[in-house]
Amino acid sequence: MSGARLLEGATGPWEVVIGLEIHAQVTSRAKLFSGAATAFGAEPNSQVSLVDAAMPGMLPVVNDKCVEQAVRTGLGLNARINLRSVFDRKNYFYPDLPQGYQISQFSQPIVGEGVVEVDLDDGQVREVGIERVHLEQDAGKSLHDQHPARTYVDLNRSGVALMEIVSKPDLRSAAEAGAYVRKVRSILRYLGTCDGNMEQGSLRADVNVSVRRPGADLGTRCEIKNVNSVRFLQSAIEYESRRQIEILETGGEIVQQTRLFDPGQGVTRTMRSKEEAHDYRYFPDPDLLPLVLTQAYVDGIRATLPELPDAKKQRFGDEYGVPGELAAVLVAERESAAYFEAMVAETARLTGKAAAAVAGDCANVIATDLFGHMNREGHGITESPISPQALAGLQALKLDGTISGRMAKEVFEEMYAGGKSAADIVDEKGLRQVSDTGELEAIIDRVLAANPKQLAQYRGGKEALFGFFVGQVMKATGGSANPGVVNEILNRRLAE
């Protein structure tokens, strides 16, 4: 991702402005106002209490766990926690909303303004403002594909707790919006407040997009509803911003609209316009008291927060000297950060070197070799066939000169495929690197004696021939000579 934040149109540059409303399902065994279960994939309508089905006379009772999770999330997003918040009814009709309203928070949300640091691919860090986070119920689901002529309703999701995380319109490109979603997801996973699983719908986003001339006031926005993958989000923004620029450049006007992204075609389409917009007639839910928290309660939750990705990234820099971009990759998931630290500790122990002296190398092996393989196969680090201790074993053999970097790559492939230890593979394949000075001196003498013409040319000033001699030594040792030692001896002998 580059720092470039402008799109070139036919009539000059445009700035894209994006604000996201992320709906994150709260990790909780029970729903926001009932004791019904929330597990994914259950039989339709098997997790529905009388409250969720909106039976007359049922009373909602707020689930403390969901409140705690929202506060935790607010703290993780560096946001203000509102000690007093209010649940409102948002009224609308939909077949999968039996209450006829959704309980949400409108004018007094539980979490106020915050800020998220977003790591861009080029190592830049951008601050994105959080407007608010509120708690609300999810609706049920209409199933249109079960019967040719009928629609069924599954109320399993009805009443499940969602956190709506509303950003300020601070994002300026599809790439930034993608990085923002990944960062928020990473923070939620660290906190354990949402599993972030976009395929299962635990995290989805409404995407607000507008364009303007650089420096101008905010333009009219369109909102793309319910986008459920980072890739779709980016395609939707790219398409939508181009669509708006084209309209404006040909003298048209943007009409505020709700749109849907069609992943098959890669386009957004009108769903409803502002004129048909709902009037939700929000009012405080008379069945629920205002939610009042104490500062001590909030402080108690703050005390249980884990080290979050930004702090970890900073520490990886301070403690191990890992550069920011690489550190950002390692800390994106708690499990990979833990993998890295375990590998560093074991490598340091095996080699007797300081952790900071081996950490950079470990970070590179994880980010390039290990992640390279895992990503290709769509696996997370928890599924790695190589443990951090085993990878440290390989790293130690490389660092103490037993094997070369090239050999280490070969051993890595075998470890990844077969689960054998680095030492066993090195033994089996006879991969030891020749670092013995006496042995190499003898080989180098033979090489020099066998190539008198090149030797004379080199001494006559043709220094490019150095590589030729290194190549000959490597050939004579079947590629097993330690390149560092070869260079050193060759330099000395050629200078004689």
Binding site for ligand ADP (CB under 6 A): 17-21, 166-169, 208-210, 218-219, 221
CB 205 within 8 A of CB 21: yes
What six digits make up the tokens of 454? 């090149």
Are 110 and 72 in contact by the 8 Å Cβ rule? The answer is no
Q: CA 210, 213, 216: angle at the middle one, nearest 5?
A: 90
Closest to ligand ADP by CB, 254 or 355: 254
Query: CB-wise, 85 or 208, nearer to ligand ADP?
Result: 208
Cβ 79 to ligand ADP shortest distance, Å: 14
**Cβ-based nearer residue to ligand ADP, 9 or 483:** 9
Q: How far is the CB of 170 from ligand ADP (least distance, A)?
A: 7
Nearer to ligand ADP by Cβ, of 89 and 221: the residue is: 221
CB atoms closer than 10 angstroms to residue 282: 15
Quote the CA–CA distance of 443 and 435 in Å, as a whole number: 12
Nearer to ligand ADP, 79 or 481 (CB): 79
Q: Please, are residues 451 and 472 in contact by the beta-carbon 8 Å criterion?
A: yes
Minimum Å gap between C-beta 18 and ligand ADP is: 6
Nearer to ligand ADP, 185 or 334 (CB): 185
Q: How many angstroms separate the CA atoms of 334 and 233, rounded?
A: 24
Nearer to ligand ADP, 87 or 180 (CB): 180
Of 464, 495, 16, 493, which is closest to residue 239 (Cα–Cα)?
16
Rounded to whole angstroms, the Cα distance separating 132 from 166 reads 5
The smaller minimum CB distance to ligand ADP, of residues 168 and 213, is found at 168
Nearest approach in angstroms of CB 133 to ligand ADP is 12
Residue 390 makes CB contacts below 8 A (sequence gap 6+) with 415, 421, 422
Q: How far is the CB of 22 from ligand ADP (least distance, A)?
A: 9
- Of the CA atoms within 13 Å of residue 249, those in its CB half-sphere come to 16
Strands 88-91 and 291-292, sheet pairing: unpaired
Q: Which tokens belong to 235?
A: 């395609």
Cβ at position 221, least distance to ligand ADP in Å: 4
Residues 6+ apart with CB under 8 A from 202: 24, 25, 40, 194, 195, 196
- Nearer to ligand ADP among residue 218 and residue 305 (C-beta): 218
- Report the distance separating Cα 182 and Cα 203, nearest Å: 11
Long-range Cβ contact pairs of 346-354 (< 8 A, separation 24 or more): 346/388, 346/389, 346/392, 346/393, 347/392, 347/395, 347/396, 347/399, 349/392, 350/392, 350/393, 350/395, 350/396, 351/396, 351/399, 351/400, 353/399
Minimal distance, residue 56 CB to ligand ADP, in Å: 31
Work out how close the CB of 211 gets to ligand ADP at its nearest, in angstroms, rounded to a whole number.
9
CB-based closest residue to ligand ADP:
19
User: In the complex with ligand ADP, which residue's Cβ is closer, 209 or 343?
Assistant: 209
Provide the token pair at 163: 């956190």
Query: Smallest gap, in angstroms, from Cβ of residue 117 to ligand ADP?
Result: 17
280 versus 468: smaller Cβ distance to ligand ADP: 280
DSSP-assigned letters across all residues of 246-287: HHHHTT--PPPEEEEEETTTTEEEEEEEGGG------EE-TT
Beta carbons of 18 and 208 less than 8 angstroms apart: yes
Spatial neighbors of 467 by CB under 8 A, at least 6 apart, are none
Least separation in angstroms between residue 119's CB and ligand ADP is: 20
For the CB of residue 168, give the shortest distance to ligand ADP in the complex, in Å.
Answer: 5
Write 323-330 long-range contacts (CB < 8 A, 24+): 323/123, 324/119, 324/123, 324/125, 325/119, 325/121, 325/122, 325/123, 326/363, 326/364, 326/367, 327/363, 328/119, 328/123, 329/367, 329/371, 330/363, 330/366, 330/367
Q: Which is nearer to ligand ADP, 103 or 473 (CB)?
A: 103
**Minimum gap (Å) between residue 404 Cβ and ligand ADP:** 53
Cβ 233 to ligand ADP, closest distance in Å?
13
Q: Which is nearer to ligand ADP, 19 or 159 (CB)?
A: 19
